[in-house]
Amino acid sequence: MHHRLPSRLAALAVVTLIALTSGCTGETVHGRPGASGLRDPYFPKAGNGGYQVEHYALDLDYDPAGGRLHATAVITARAGQGLSSFNLDLSGLDVESVSVQGEPARFNRTGNELTVRPADDLERGEVFRAEIDYSGKPRPVTDPDGSKEGWIPLAVGEGAVGVGEPVGSMAWFPGNHHPSDKATYDITVTVPKGYEAVSNGELASRREEADGRTVFVWHAAEPMASYLATVAVGKFEVTTGRTASGIPVYSAVAPGEAAASAAVLARLPEMVEWGSGRFGPYPFSSTGAVVLPAHTLGYALETQTRPVFSGAPGSEELVLHELAHQWFGDSVSPKSWKDMWLNEGFATYAEWLWSEDHGGPSAQQHFDAYLAGDTDVDEAADSAWDAFPPAAPPGPKDVSSAPVYGRGAMVLQRVRQEVGDEKFFALLRGWAADHRYGNASTAEFTAYAQEKTGHDLKKVWDVWLYGTGRPKAP
Ligand code: ARG
Ligand code: ZN
């Protein structure tokens, strides 16, 4: 109470200052700064408030010999409030210039935040175009769990890959780097002769420049979360084809991994068709894979339309897992990083289903194997899947830990046990259809599951999804 007067005085002073700086024309000042983070429970600074991106046009010119990137990002976004300034997430690199609506804009950088101050305030609802010219040597980002993402060079001079789960995309382009803000993308990559450049979606064109460099223009037509964007530059072997229903396939494989990848990648088209039967129509207009040299990353990633593998995929299940993410994670994306089990639990469950449909152990047998720690049936059965509840990872280092995968899949099997096959598969398809190209939270899933199946599933949620300790066999 006692500081009410001073704060009112301060407010008056600010108003006066604004009136003075806006030239006392009597115009209303309609902008305020957009938030510098979206307060994600695990990555609070990821993303930015005050606008939503509609489209990214990235023009990346990469030199594998020097590891340098020269780039332009043109971001088309809609202001959700009056904006005097807004932030983009960007890690490392040098920003050379920024313009908004064609006018040079002032900018400054603190940590991973690039703050842009347009010459004129943006109005609520206004669609605006921001252009950022930047360059430098993009670098890897180390996650809270110790994995590497961001921009990872291959062996010296061989190329590089850009990946971004959960926050590494800020190491190679400025953006609203939180899964809740999805946008379409055009990614143009210029590389020296002899290198391939692979990204998301379809290759719209490929041309040789007069100076001998090659320009690859990639177009990702469906909304994409920025953590699912990828660019791989390397001396890859490219194969193209179509699935039985006509979806174009484009895969790029490091030559040293080609022999070991051939058999498993040959099954990808069949997996797309299988997934369409189980989960509903494949959500994207292209598919394929990128196989990097072994050990480039310590993991595979479900980059949209074109998952990335670190060396030849070690199993059919791994390819199936990344493909299943196209429905669960990529098309239906998490609202926050806390909802990661909606990605990983579902993709793990898809592995169990693929096994069930192809003469392997059934999903129920996988579930039982986890309870018994039987690694003959499932190699991950003795993982620490009971360490925490899948819907509540203890911290940011746990969003990709065993319970999010294995126990997340067990939640789905528990639902199937309660509601029966017919309702369960209708639930999976309905979930993918209702949230296609959008975002969803755990609370939305549990409410939807109950409504769609007509079953009270509270005990399943309480024990398997949110409960601590090791649940007993039902
Ligand atoms: N989402 C990837 C998968 O398909 C794993 C990503 C691992 N990333 C990490 N920072 N641990 O399972
Ligand atoms: Zn996964």
pLDDT tens for each residue of 6-55: 444 444 444 444 444 444 444 456 899 999 999 999 999 999 999 999 99
Q: Report the percentage of the chain scoring pLDDT > 70.
A: 94
CA distance 73 to 69: 12
Judge if the beta carbon of residue 432 lies within 6 A of ligand 1.
no
Give the ligand at the shortest distance from the Cα of 299: 1
- Per-residue pLDDT averaged across 158-180, rounded? 98
Give the ligand at the shortest distance from the Cα of 400: 1
SS3 at position 402? helix
Judge if the beta carbon of residue 380 lies within 6 A of ligand 1.
no
Residue type, 375: T
- Per-residue pLDDT averaged across 232-252, rounded? 98
Judge if the beta carbon of residue 398 lies within 6 A of ligand 1.
no
Q: How far is the CA of 269 from the centre of ligand 2 (A)?
A: 19
Task: Please provide the average confidence, as pLDDT, over all residues in the chain.
Answer: 94
pLDDT at position 158: 97
What is the DSSP secondary structure assignment for residue 374, as one 8-state letter?
A: -
Domain 236-329 coded CATH 1.10.3720.10:
no
Q: Which of 9-18, 78-87, 118-127, 407-416 has the lowest mean pLDDT?
A: 9-18
> At 449, is the pLDDT very low, low, confident or very high (cuts 50, 70, 90)?
very high
For the four alpha carbons of 330, 336, 340 and 341, in that order, the dihedral sign comes to: negative
pLDDT at position 28: 55
Judge if the beta carbon of residue 299 lies within 6 A of ligand 1.
yes
- Indicate which atom in ligand 1 lies nearest the CA of residue 322: 4
- Indicate which atom in ligand 1 lies nearest the CA of residue 302: 4
CA distance 282 to 327: 7
Q: How far is the CA of 20 from the centre of ligand 2 (A)?
A: 54
SS3 at position 128? strand
Judge if the beta carbon of residue 113 lies within 6 A of ligand 1.
no
Judge if the beta carbon of residue 301 lies within 6 A of ligand 1.
yes
- From 303, 306, 348, 400, the mutation candidate for ligand 1 (largest count of ligand atoms within 8 A of CB) is 400
Q: Is the pLDDT of residue 243 over 60?
A: yes
Q: How far is the CA of 318 from the centre of ligand 2 (A)?
A: 9
**Tokens matching residue 75:** 């971001």
pLDDT at position 132: 99
> Atom 10 (ligand 1): residue with closest C-alpha?
147
pLDDT at position 29: 61
> At 5, is the pLDDT very low, low, confident or very high (cuts 50, 70, 90)?
very low
CA distance 190 to 379: 42
3.40.50.2000, 3.40.50.10800, 1.10.390.10, 1.10.3720.10: which CATH number matches 333-465?
A: 1.10.390.10
Judge if the beta carbon of residue 400 lies within 6 A of ligand 1.
yes
- Indicate which atom in ligand 1 lies nearest the CA of residue 143: 10
CA distance 366 to 371: 9
Q: What is the CATH number of domain 33-231?
A: 2.60.40.1730
- Indicate which atom in ligand 1 lies nearest the CA of residue 400: 11
pLDDT at position 473: 87
SS3 at position 334? strand
> At 386, is the pLDDT very low, low, confident or very high (cuts 50, 70, 90)?
very high
CA torsion 307-310-316-318 (nearest 10°) is -70
**Tokens matching residue 303:** 């980059």
Q: Is the pLDDT of residue 121 over 50?
A: yes
- Per-residue pLDDT averaged across 175-201, rounded? 98
Count of positions (residues) in the chain: 474
> At 265, is the pLDDT very low, low, confident or very high (cuts 50, 70, 90)?
very high
- Indicate which atom in ligand 1 lies nearest the CA of residue 343: 1
Q: How far is the CA of 392 from the centre of ligand 1 (A)?
A: 17
Q: Let me know: does 105 contact 130? Beta carbons within 8 Å.
A: yes
SS3 at position 433? helix
> Atom 4 (ligand 1): residue with closest C-alpha?
301
> Atom 6 (ligand 1): residue with closest C-alpha?
301
Q: How far is the CA of 364 from the centre of ligand 2 (A)?
A: 20
Q: Let me know: does 105 contact 116? Beta carbons within 8 Å.
A: yes
Q: Let me know: does 164 contact 135? Beta carbons within 8 Å.
A: no
Max CA distance (Å), the chain = 77
- Per-residue pLDDT averaged across 403-418, rounded? 98
Q: Where in the chain is the domain with CATH 1.10.390.10?
A: 236-329, 333-465
Judge if the beta carbon of residue 143 lies within 6 A of ligand 1.
yes
Residue type, 393: P
**Rounded to the nearest 5 degrees, what angle is found at the Cα of 154, between the Cα atoms of 192 and 399?**
125
- Indicate which atom in ligand 1 lies nearest the CA of residue 147: 10
Residue ranges with strand state E in 46-191: 51-63, 68-79, 83-89, 94-100, 103-104, 106-110, 113-117, 127-136, 140-142, 148-153, 160-163, 183-191
Q: How far is CA 285 from CA 203, 246, 305, in A?
A: 11, 10, 8
Judge if the beta carbon of residue 342 lies within 6 A of ligand 1.
no
Query: pLDDT higher for 17 or 447?
Result: 447
